[in-house]
Amino acid sequence: MSAAVDRGDAGRARRLVLLAHGTRMPGSAPLLERIARDVAARLPGVEVDHGYVEFQSPSAVEALQGGADPVVVPVFLGSGYHVEKDLPAMVDEHGPARLTEHLGPHPALIGAVVDRLAAEARGAGRPLG
């Protein structure tokens, strides 16, 4: 998961929009903000924005309207209704934009699961219940 990414790997993209579901749970917004910030740090020259389909701000529509011709990455593990219907409709309505596949099940996520298991084996897991 820590493979180096250079500007060439991002193609010609000048703008990237990360879209996540959103939640009513207070304090959850910093996660997507941090992901966007970390992605931006690895892609100099690419403007990185983020938005949420439901519950949080900025909305997906606001994020899509923030600039020209973005590449949109759905930050979703599964391909449910939002990924299959809502996001393509939003991109069509508020484009032009290019929509990528959602994140899961990307091979890097498998590596993250293995990393979590290794961390738990070292005592870094957190007991529940």
CATH of the domain at 41: 3.40.50.1400
Q: CA–CA distance from 90 to each of 43, 94, 110 (Å)?
A: 25, 6, 29
In a domain, 28, yes or no: yes
Residue 7 within any structural domain of the chain: no
User: Identity (one letter) of the amino acid at 33?
Assistant: E
Which positions are catalytic? Answer: 21
Residue 125 inside a domain? The answer is no
**Domain tally, the chain:** 1
State pLDDT tens for residues 30-85: 999 999 999 999 999 999 999 999 999 999 999 999 888 999 999 999 999 999 99
Inside any domain, residue 59: yes
In a domain, 120, yes or no: no
Of 62, 81, 76, nearest to 22 (Cα)? 76
Query: Do the domain assignments include residue 18?
Result: yes
Range of 18's domain? 13-104
Residue 3 within a domain: no
pLDDT digits (tens, 9 = 90+) for 7-42: 455 678 899 999 999 999 988 889 999 999 999 999
Please report whether residue 31 resides in a domain.
yes
